[in-house]
Each structure stands twice: as C-alpha cells, then as structure tokens.
Chains A and B, each alone.
Chain A
Amino acid sequence: MHLLVVGLSHKTAPIEIRERLTFPAHRQAEALALLLSQPAVAEAVIISTCNRTEIYAVASGGDEGVDSVIEFMADYHELDRHELIRSLYITRGVDVVHHLFRVVASLDSMVIGEAQILGQVKEAYDHAMENGATGLALNKLFRQSFEVGKRVRNETGIGENAVSISYAAIELAKKVFDTLSGRTILILGAGKMSELTAKHLVSNGVKSVLVANRTFERAQELAERFNGEAIRYDDLYERMRGADIVITSTAATHYVITKEQVASAMRGRGGRPLFLIDIAVPRDIEPTVNDLSNVFLYDIDDLSGVVESNLEERMREAGRAEHIIAEEIALFVRWRESLEVVPTVAAIRAKAEVIRLAELEKACKRLGGLSQKDRETIEALTCAIVNKMLHGPTQRLKQAAAAKDGYEYVETARHLYGLEESEARGHGKLRNLLNRRAHDTADKQATHEIGDSLGC
C-alpha cells in the first residue's frame, strides 16, 4: 500500500490556478472513474474546495503513482503539466496521514479553526465511496480523519473565538446579553459593513431591526432586506432608547452620536445595557460614550484587537491539536504496519512456531524416556513440516503483496491465520512472542527466507 497526496492549496497556488483545477460535485463520478482507470491507482478521493484541490490515492510505489495522478490532473483540466507541477505539493506515506489530519483539523486552512473543512472532506469521501473509489486503506484513513476532526473540535478551543470583525462583534454582544434572541438592533448608515454585521446578528436571533440613514429611501431599502423598520433620522435618539445594539457606519466626518445623546437615551431604559459598534472611519460615536454606565462601545480598532487576540488563542490551541494528531497518526501507523507483508509473514511463522513447540512438548511427555538423538529427530521433523507447509503460502503472499492492491492479500492472510491486530500487538505470552518475532524479522527486512530467522 502506497499512500500519496498530490494537490495544491492557497499556500502554493494563486486563485488563477486554483480556479482552473476544481472538481465540482457533479463531475466527481466521472473524474474518479477516469483516475481509477490509470493502472497505477487503486483507490482515490478528490477533495475540491475554494482553497484546495487534493487527490489522495493508494497507488503503486515509486514515481509511477504520482506521475499517473499528475497526468490525470493535467489532462482532465487541459493544463500544461510543467506549469501545474510548479503549484503542486506531493506527499507520500505517513506524511499523507499527517497532512490529511491537519487538513480536517483545519490547521492547514486559511483561517485556522474554521469549521467548514471537516464537512467538505466528508462530502469528498462520500463521493468517492459512492463511486467505489475507496478501499480498505482510504476508508480507514478518512474515517479516522473524521475522528481527528471531531476530537480537535471537542478537546481544544480551536474553533471557539471569532476571527472576523462581524463575528467578534456578535461574540462581544453575547458576552453582554447572553443571547441575542428577542433583542433589537439599530443600524445607523446603510453601508456594506453594517449590513453584514446586521445580517449575522439577525441570523443569531435578533428580533427587530431599525434602520436610520440620512437618505430615508436607502434606509427603507435596507430595512426591507431584514424585515425591519426604517426610521427618520430625526427620531434616531428617541428610538435608541428601545435598542439593545447600535451599529454605525456612516460617512460623516464628525461624531454623529455624542455622550450627551447616549446619556439621555440611557435614561428610562430600566438599567438595560447598550452595546454600540462603531465600524465607521472616521468614527461616528464619541469615544467617551464608553465611560457611561451600562454602555459598551467598540470601534473598528477594538474589534480588530479582539480578532487578533482570538487568532493568537487559536494558534495556542493549534499546538494542542498537533498533539492529538500525533496520537492518531501513531494509531494509524500501527494499523498500517499490521498490513505489511514482512511482519505478517513473521507473525504467521511465529504463531506456527508456538504451536509446534507446544505440541512437541506434549508429544515428548507422552512418549517419555526419549534419548537426545530421538528428541532432535522429532524436533527436526516438526520443523520441516512447518517450514514446508508455510513456504508456499508465504512466498505467494510476498509476491501478491507487491501488487497495487496487495495489502488486501495481507489483510486476508491475517484474517485466515487469526492474526488480528489485537492479537498480534496485544498482551500475553503468545502475543509478546509474536510481537518480538515480528519486530526482529522486520528489522532484518527479510531479504532472505523468513523461516530461517525463526530458528528452524
């Protein structure tokens, strides 16, 4: 089994290249069929998002598999192979596991900790599975990667803190009001940024939207978009009394909201707090408004500061995520090792040896009074039987394992001989012996007959 990933992302390719190399959902079946028609490729998953296009494959060793995938990418999108290669990264073996786990944990994303990538990878895997493009290796790899994604989300705070201005404003508003459902927002100025923030606030449960603008028609236009109410500019301060959150983004060159006006609006509010978000430059709200009791004012710099500190927090959490990834890689590697032919052959022979010794011991006890020579003869006999019985199957297993889907033979052999991972790598006397033997043999890389290293 040779895992590989060939791809490009926002880190290696500009948008001009990325947009030419996408595999939309409706074309995945066709693309996967074409990819799997390459003789060197046994399994494949294509991940295609706006920031990355990656092909995960199980392929033949050497450069044959990589070449096939690159050729497929270039041909499919009619790109110049040499031009394409400049933007690609190629990863093999355990590094593929590391890369995929980092991708699903969103450590490789443009915005670390973003939640979408896990769903996108799941979708890509579903496409591949539905089209019969995955097998044992990629099934195991991707399913484990989803576990990694979940663990990272649950066990770290990587996705917790807002990293955009509008989300930071919502996060802060929630720190004041706990929940935004049933709250009223007042938008002053119908700019794009205030519209975006208002959109997020409404999607978080804000009940009513009031819009004020110098041009009443523009206010009406924006209010309609949120099923809100356009208010006359002159009524602004009166209506502020009923609002919980005020967003301002006018083009005014002076303060539109002063401390006195807010102080007056705060009277008769029954001690309810007021959260003001000033995203205009130059600012719309007099900064000393923040000194008023129960009033919280954030301007664009304050919100940027929150975003920056949240990003730092995410970076710290990324360190914890890397620990989780390292643990999961170790698990995957252990599983993969169990599918390698040399340790498998060694484990089969070790198991046979344990059985041989046990049966020899029983027979010797039953016969009793055997001379040293008799004993050596019986021992040589049992060794010869075991060796002859295993020689053919192990030779053929080694030959079959060299093929592109060879790990399936190994998996079958492990199943037939009862060498499940838990047995071969667990506890107990037999398991210890199997492990020791398997490791000894693997170290010698068994270029010669494996049976020789088992003392027979």
Chain B
Amino acid sequence: MAQGAVILFWFTIVAYVAATVLYAYFFLSKRAAFSWYATFLTGAGFLCHTASIGMRSTAQHGTRLDGPNTLILFAWALVMLYFVMEHLIKVKVYGTLLVPVSVVLMTLSQLIAGSGAATSPLIENWKIGIHVALIAFANAGFLIAAVAAMTYLVQEGQLKRHKTNVVFKRLPSLSKIDALARRAVAFGYPAYTGGLLLGVLRAIETDPPGWWADPRVVLAGIAWAIFGAFLALQYTQRASSRTTAWIAIAGTIVVLSLAVVARTVPAGFHIFGV
C-alpha cells in the first residue's frame, strides 16, 4: 500500500509538471486545445494525488500531521479549489498560475521529508486532524485569492497607465478576477474559522500554559480578522476592488508568515516539527 502511494505520488508530480508546461503554452499561444489537455492532466494528477493520500493514510493508519504531509494536503486542496473556481468562473488561464504552485509544494514536501522531529502528543487527536485539513483547505483558498489580487493589481495598473502588453491580453477582466478573489476567500474563510475553532477547543482541553500567546495562535487570529474584513468590505461594497486586493495580499502574507513562524520560533506549544 505504501509503495502504491509513493508511485501514485510521482505520477501526480509528472501529471502536474506536464499540465504546467501545457498551461504555459496555452498562456502564450491561446490555443484552447492545450488548455483542454492541461486541465485533463491536472484532473488525472488530482485523482492520483487523492489516491496517493488515501493509500498513504491507510498504510500509516491515519495521516501523519507533519510538515511534508501538510504540504501535500495543501497542494491537493489548491488543485481541488482550482477546479471549483474554474467551474464557477471559467478562468482557464488561472491554471497557469496555480498548478505550478502545487508542483512546488509537492517537490518541497519531498525535500523536507524525513527531516522532521517527532510530532507533539498534543496533536494526536481527531480534532487536530480535521483542524489541519480545514486550515490547509482555507490556506489554498487564501492563496488563490492572493494570486487573483496580484493579477488584479497588475491588470488595473496597466489599464490605468494605458500601457498594455501580452500579459494584459491573456489575463481575464478586472470584474472576473475580483469575483475569483471574493469567492476563493468565501470558500476558505468558513473552513479557516472552523479549523481555528477546533484548534482552540483542543487547546482549552489540554490547556498548555500561555497557549493564547503562542505566536501562531496570535497570527492566526490576525489572519482571520484580515480575511473577515476582506469579506465584509467586498460584500458591503464599501471599498474599491484595489483596496480589497491589497487586503487579500496582506492576509496571505500573514498566513505564510504564520506557517514559517510556527516552524521556526522555539516558543509556545504550537511547534510540531517540520
């Protein structure tokens, strides 16, 4: 079973790399056939990816919540959310930006594999399993929103400066990018809220000293507030799309810092080895 999981993992990487190449070619040439093949390969890769995670989990009697597995889960959530977004908003060109990120995450998971310390017994609980899964899913949504936000700023800048280039012609319209960012956060935010709540519940249960001051907990709270503000401003239309784009980027920077801080700052209970 474990061997099968490894084989499928490499199949996944090969499919994602091939899809990345095809998406890039599609981006440059705008030939729809390449986008079709790229989406097909991404879909095939995603199936292998799902099967690999399932088989690994079965072989190990449950998914280990270490760094490499979290990255693999994150990459999986990213591709899944990409398909949901693609279905809702029809932004094929977005695969060009997201599938390579999944490839990087998968590769990174292999580079850091085996270097991790033993995981804390505090996280050996079903609540933490769901917490990690929900956070990975939410982070995927936030990353999609951040990439959309950056795309928005690039596109808007070109429109404002009246200077367009090939990228301008390939990227979707401002309203589409804005909708993409909004929906990605709208998908991710409830998952993030649920994930944080489960984490807090577990923290209250085990009650380690000063858990509420743990840098990761604090940063998670800040990220939650930032994305909450993003959604409030988006849906009440009280801010321009440019402002909300910056908010999405700021939120994602906090989420990324959070991932780094949790693994580098030797303080608090929230360090469970990379």
A→B interface (CB under 8 Å): 154-155, 157, 160-161, 172, 174-178, 270-273, 290, 293-294, 296, 298, 302, 305-306, 309, 313
Contact = CB atoms under 8 A, between A and B. Distances in A.
Interface of B: 29-31, 155, 159-160, 162, 164, 168-169, 172-176, 237-243
B155 A175 contact: yes
A176 to B, nearest CB: 5
A174 B173 contact: yes
A290 B160 CA distance: 7
B239 A271 contact: yes
Given A305-B162, A309-B164, A157 B30 contact: yes
A70 to B, nearest CB: 43
Contacts of B169: 157, 160-161, 313
Contacts of B237: 270-272
Contacts of A157: 30, 169
B175 A294 contact: no
The SS class assigned to the B binding surface is: helix
Nearest to A172: B159
A306 B241 contact: no
A155 B31 contact: yes
Nearest to B32: A154
Given A157-B30, A172-B159, A306 B240 contact: no
A161 B166 CA distance: 11
A306 B169 CA distance: 12
A161 B173 CA distance: 15
Contacts of B242: 293-294
A302 B160 CA distance: 11
Contacts of B172: 178
Contacts of A172: 159
10 contacts: A157-B30, A160-B169, A161-B169, A172-B159, A174-B173, A176-B159, A176-B175, A178-B174, A293-B240, A296-B160
B156 to A, nearest CB: 8
A175 B240 contact: no
A422 B1 CA distance: 52
B164 A306 contact: yes
A324 to B, nearest CB: 13
A157 B172 CA distance: 16
A302 B159 CA distance: 11
A447 B239 CA distance: 85
A175 B159 contact: yes
Given A178-B174, A294-B240, A305-B162, 12 more contacts: A175-B159, A175-B174, A176-B159, A178-B176, A273-B174, A273-B241, A296-B160, A298-B162, A302-B162, A306-B162, A306-B164, A309-B164
